[in-house]
Amino acid sequence: METYERLLAAITPATGPTRDVLDPATGERIGAARVDGTAELERAIGRARAAQPAWAELGDEERVATLNRVADAIERSGEALAELLSREQGKPLNGPNARFEVGACANWLRATAATPQPVEVVVDDGETYAELHYRPIGTVGVITPWNWPMMIAIWQIAPALRMGNTVVAKPSEYTTLSGLALAAVMNQELPEGVLEVVAGDGGLGAELVVHPGIGKIMFTGSTATGRRIMEASAGNLKRLTLELGGNDAGIVLPDVDASAIAEGLFWGAFINTGQTCAAMKRLYVHDDVYDAVCDALTEVASQMPMGPGLDEQNVLGPLQNRMQWEVVHRLVDAAKTSGARVLLGGTPDPEASGHFYPTTLVADIDDAHPLVQEEQFGPALPIIRYSDVEDAVRMANAVDVGLGASVWSGDRERAREIAARLEAGTVWINSHGGVHPGIPFGGVKQSGFGLEFGAEGLKAVAVPQVING
């Protein structure tokens, strides 16, 4: 079993430029992350491209077996990976956090390996026979965010490898060690060159995007960065999957039992301390149950312990970086100034170490307020009152993003009717934000395009080929 100390030592460079990595909960130094440049990127891409033909020629059965061995390796190092993730990203070990994320990496690898290869007979009429197959692209570039740095990396790496591609991954500069550690464990089982990792800032990511040796970019992050990636990739028509920003709405209908849905509402909004693309960012509640929902949600939220991630009792942690803390603080302060009612939180402790922002619920807020209209990406939820469901649907659809949404009701058919009218890539009924390796996931509008997970996710990291005859 890998220990945290051995894992950290394995990814600590002996030479070359580095930068200090600090724990967002305490400000203490964790270790040093390497800082790569153009030369390291070129070498990584060269190694991945050289390894790709042999990896593709192994065949699907052997690649599947390899991915399952990689999942075993992650499980063997699970506690060490979880500790490193908690120290660098800030999320607690327990709850739907660090141990959950590492476990999801292994589970997702196995699910990706178990998904049938997408081969389709498109015409078979007695005269013509045609099949649609999916072939490797070549080398795929993967650029991952800091909120779920291991799990989202697997979401992109696993299907790319399954389809015979090699991968060059660049983790976020905020969670570099998590990306390097995950790759180090995976490379215990993968052939040399199949998975390469480069470490650096957005400039290095931009070089990866435009490199002619990369056939596809998979990116999870902000809409603004996604736009820049689209512009940069136009020169060589690079294929893209972009999972971008969200501002997910939840709509609560008047027939709910407030106490029964309160915990589901809480985790829909506050999983990973609100730092999740498809978390619920704004909640629309009908007049008839508004006060009951506010009370029940406040009761649940007030009992969720927040603190350093290595303390076993905590389920909420700090914001990963000061930049994001400032965004949340600005939006909540503006809401307070506007006269909105703070049900819980809203005032960070000036003496607290780390990037902690208290769990915050804000009621009686206007839909036009920035806390509603901007993605806060942190532990602050605005609760908006409505009296006509038509108004709730209109407000939910009024933003320019559409990653996820949810409808909460005791009448599932009524909820489905409303769900069909919401402009979002996924709409959940009586839950929010749950993903499944067999269910396609992706955004609409400025939340990006392309699907991940399941057979559709495999197709997205391959090129179609029709065999006619």
Q: In whole angstroms, give the CA distance from residue 333 to residue 449.
A: 33
DSSP state at residue 313? T
Residue-level pLDDT at 323: 97
Contact 188, 6 (CB under 8 A): no
Contact 190, 109 (CB under 8 A): no
Residue 10 pLDDT grade (very low, low, confident, very high; cuts 50, 70, 90) = very high
For residue 464, the SS3 value is: strand
Q: Counting beta carbons within 10 angstroms of the beta carbon of residue 313, is it exposed (0 to 12), middle (13 to 18) or buried (19 or more)?
A: exposed
> CATH 3.40.309.10 in the chain, residues?
248-429
Q: What is the mean pLDDT of residues 14-18?
A: 93
Q: State residue 235's pLDDT score.
A: 87
Is the pLDDT score of 1 beyond 80? no
Share of the chain above pLDDT 70, in %: 100
Q: Predicted confidence band at 469 (pLDDT cuts at 50, 70, 90)?
A: confident
pLDDT in tens, 121-136: 999 999 999 999 999 9
- What is the per-residue pLDDT for 351? 85
The fold adopted by the segment(s) 248-429 is Aldehyde Dehydrogenase; Chain A, domain 2 (3.40.309)
What's the average model confidence in pLDDT over 233-249?
94
pLDDT tens-digit map of 267-324: 999 999 999 999 999 999 999 999 999 999 999 999 999 999 999 999 999 999 999 9
Kindly state the average pLDDT of the residues 194-198: 98
Candidates 3.40.605.10, 3.30.420.40, 3.40.50.300, 3.30.70.100; CATH matching 4-244+447-468: 3.40.605.10
Q: What stretch(es) of the chain map to CATH 3.40.605.10?
A: 4-244+447-468
Q: What pLDDT was estimated at residue 13?
A: 92
Average pLDDT, the chain: 97
User: Active-site positions?
Assistant: 243, 277
Residues pairing with 88 in the sheet:
none
Residue 23 pLDDT exceeds 80: yes
Give the pTM: 0.96
Helix-, strand-, coil-residue percentages of the chain, each rounded to 5: 40, 20, 35
E-assigned strand segments in 77-234? 120-124, 129-136, 139-143, 166-170, 195-197, 216-220
Question: Number of helices (H) and strands (E), helices first, in the chain?
Answer: 16, 20
- What gap in Å lies between CA 8 and CA 236, rounded to an integer? 38
Q: How far apart are CA 185 and CA 187, in angstroms?
A: 5
Query: What is the tens place of the pLDDT at every residue in 447-466?
Result: 999 999 999 999 999 999 99
pLDDT above 90 coverage of the chain, percent: 97
* pLDDT tens digits, 42-101: 999 999 999 999 999 999 999 999 999 999 999 999 999 999 999 999 999 999 999 999
| CB contact at 8 A, 172 and 198 | no
